[in-house]
Structure 1
């Protein structure tokens, strides 16, 4: 079976497919460990330190020639150009508006924090909303969108990164994604649901315009990927 790096973006359904791939590669598989870091640090520096640590882990696992590597880790083009050039790169995307709402609900359900607004409407006014709204930029262009920053270069970088992936799936088409994976690994995948929300994600109609504005950059990346790269 081929070597795989599966980049899992939060709330895109990656846990279920990642678990299936781990089972198929159970003799040589690993997940990137998550490190919450120093809770006294501000959110931005703490997240950057955590993901720098995850990148080190990814490089170490590739150097050990682990066949299946997955979890929440940023795409590294230099790694693909060099040590991981014989790996298949895989990711799964989701409509950014639904992904954003699901991400907020997940944090409230699994990682409640007094500093996070208790309602989605109030959260949209927080500084952290922009970070959650630009996850595709963070994972595929290397950084979240900053206030007053021109998004165009980051959007272009994320689109170019996704164009280099062997498989880009869409959570709305799980069967097509599973079929693409099966064609590459040569065997069916045992699929089950992991980390599923207790109820389907609902986007409040009155908040949708504000969420779409926040997610505009990720929406551009997603639409480009759907046009050119989504598995079908």
Structure 2
């Protein structure tokens, strides 16, 4: 079986597939650990420090020859071109608007915070909404855009990065994604639902234009990949 690095973007439905892959590679597999860090530290620098730690963990696992690595970790083109050149890079994407709403609902359900607005409408006006809305840029271009920043260079970087992936799946076509994974693994994958939301994600129609505006960079990446790589 070919070695795999599975980059799991939050709320893209990747938990079930990641669990199935770990079972198939159970003798040599690892998940990138999450670490909340010092909770007295401001959220933004704490998050960046955690992602830097995750990146270092990914490099160590590759250096050890771990055959299957998965987790919420950013794409590293230098690693891909170097020590991990023999790995298959895999990810799963989802409609950015649905992903954004699902992410907010997940945070409210599992990680409530008094600093986060209690309604989606109020949350859309916060700086954190920009970060949540641009997860594809953060994971595949290594940066979230700032308000007022031209996102075009980051969009192009993310599209180019995803073009180097062996498999880019789409959540609405899980059977296609499963077949692609099975082709790399060489055996069928046992699949079950993990970390699923208790109810389907609903997008308030009155908020959709505002959410689409926030998610516009990720939507550009998603549409570009739909026309070329997703579920191919």
TM-score (norm 1): 0.99
| Equivalence map 1:67-146=2 (5 Å) | 67-146=67-146
The aligned runs of 1:1-232 (5 Å cut-off) are: 1-232=1-232
Count of residues in Structure 1 that have an aligned counterpart in Structure 2: 232
Shift of 1:120: 0.5
How many Å separate the matches in 1 of 2:177 and 2:208?
27
Tell me the CA shift for residue 18 of structure 1.
Answer: 0.2
**Mean CA deviation greater in 35-44 or 89-98:** 35-44
CA distance in 2, matches of 1:37, 1:210: 32
CA–CA separation in structure 2 for the residues paired with 1:211 and 1:96: 9
Shift of 1:20: 0.2
Kindly state the Cα deviation for residue 126 of structure 1 after the two structures are TM-superposed. 1.1
Q: CA deviation at 1:208?
A: 0.2
**Post-superposition offset of 1:25:** 0.3
Deviation of 1:9 (Å)? 0.1
RMSD of the TM alignment (CA)? 0.6
Deviation of 1:127 after TM superposition, in Å, equals: 1.2
Instruction: Tell me, in whole angstroms, the C-alpha distance in 2 between the residues paired with 1:100 and 1:206.
Output: 15
Q: CA separation in 1, counterparts of 2:44 and 2:147?
A: 13
Deviation at 1:145, TM superposition (A): 1.1
User: 2 CA distance for matches of 1:157 and 1:132?
Assistant: 18
Secondary structure of the residue that 1:92 maps to in structure 2? strand
CA displacement 1:165-207 (0-9 Å, x = unmatched): 0000000100000000011111000000000000000000000
Q: Which secondary structure state, in structure 2, belongs to the residue aligned with residue 89 of structure 1? A: strand
Q: Unpaired runs of 5+ in structure 2?
A: none
CA offset at residue 142 of structure 1?
A: 0.1
